[in-house]
Structure 1
Amino acid sequence: MTTATLTTARLIEVFSAIQGEGLNVGTRQIFIRFALCDLRCHFCDSAHTWSVPPTCRIERSPGLRDFEVHDNPVSLDLLLQWVQQLNVPGLHDSISLTGGEPLLHSAFLLQFLPQAQKRTGLPIYLETGGHRPQQLAMVLPHLDSVGMDLKLPSVSGESHWQEHAEFLQHCHQASVEVFVKVIVSRETDIAELHQAAELVANVSPEIPLYLQPVTPLDATQKFSQVLFSAPTPAQVLTWQAKMKQLLKSVRVVPQTHKMLNQL
Structure 2
Amino acid sequence: MTTTVPATEPTNTAAAVLTVDRANLVEVFSAIQGEGSNVGTRQIFIRFARCDLRCHFCDSARTWGTPATCRIEATPGARDFETHANPVTRSQLLAWVVRQHVPGLHDSISLTGGEPLLHASFLQTFLPEVRRLGLPIYLETGGHHPQQLSAVLPFLDAVGADLKLPSVSGEQRWQAHADFLKRCCDAGVEVFAKLIVSDRTDRADLERAAAIVAGTSPEIPVFLQPVTPLAEPLAVGAISPPTPAQVLAWQALLKQQLACVRVVPQTHKAIGQL
Per the alignment, do residues 217 and 5 of structure 1 end up closer, same or farther by CA in structure 2, a change over 3 Å counting?
closer
DSSP 3-state at the match of 1:227: coil
Q: Is 42-51 or 2-11 further displaced after alignment?
A: 2-11
Q: Tell me which residue corresponds to 1:20.
A: 34
Structure 1 residue 224 displacement after superposition = 4.8
CA-CA distance at 1:4 after TM superposition: 2.3
Q: 5 Å matches for 1:34-45? A: 34-45=48-59
Shift of 1:63: 0.2
1:140 aligned partner: 153
Q: Offset at 1:225?
A: 4.1
User: Partner of 2:191: helix, strand, or coil?
Assistant: strand
- The answer on 1:233 being equivalent to 2:244 is yes
**CA 1:147–1:194 in structure 2 vs 1: closer, same or farther (change >3 Å)?**
same
Instruction: Summarize the alignment of residues 159-178 of structure 1 with structure 2, pairs less than 5 Å apart.
Output: 159-178=172-191
Report the equivalent of 1:191. 204
Local SS of the residue matching 1:6:
coil
- Amino acid across the alignment from 2:257: L
The aligned counterpart of 1:87 is 101
Contact 2:230 2:239 in 1 (8 A): no
Q: Distance in 2 between matches of 1:11 and 1:212?
A: 26
1:202-250: CA deviations, max 9, x gaps?
Answer: 00000000000001266xx524542111100000000000110100000
Deviation at 1:23, TM superposition (A): 0.3
How many corresponding residue pairs?
A: 260
Deviating beyond 6 angstroms after TM superposition, the runs of 4 or more aligned structure 1 residues are none
Give, in angstroms, the shift of residue 16 of structure 1.
0.3
* Alignment correspondent of 2:226: 213
Gaps of 5+ in 2: 1-12
1:56 is paired with a residue of what secondary structure? strand
Q: Answer whether contact 1:47 1:224 (CA < 8 A) is retained.
A: no
Of 247, 250, 259, the match for 2:261: 250
1:97 to 100, 111, 116: 111
Distance 2:123 2:211 in 1: 31
RMSD of the TM alignment (CA)?
A: 1.1
Rounded Cα–Cα distance in structure 2 between residues aligned with 1:4 and 1:195: 38
Structure-2 separation of matches of 1:149 and 1:30: 20
Amino acid at match of 1:117: R
1:262 paired residue number:
273
Q: Runs of 5+ in structure 1 lacking a partner?
A: none
Q: Secondary structure at the match of 2:18?
A: helix
Q: Using the alignment, how far apart are the partners of 1:223 and 1:139 within structure 2? A: 32
CA distance in structure 2 between the partners assigned to 1:84 and 1:143 by the alignment? 18
Partner of 1:152: 165
Distance 1:40 1:154 in 2: 13
Distance 1:191 1:4 in 2: 42
Q: Which residue of 2 aligns with 1:107?
A: 121
1:5 is matched with 19
Letter in 2 for 1:37: C
Cα deviation code 1:3-53 (max 9, x no counterpart):
522111100000000000000000000000000000000000100000000
Cα displacement string for residues 104-127 of structure 1 (whole angstroms, at most 9, x for unaligned residues): 000000000000001x11000000
TM-score by length of structure 1 reads 0.97
**CA–CA distance in structure 2, aligned partners of residues 133 and 232 of structure 1:** 33
- Is residue 33 from structure 1 mapped to residue 47 from structure 2 by the alignment? yes
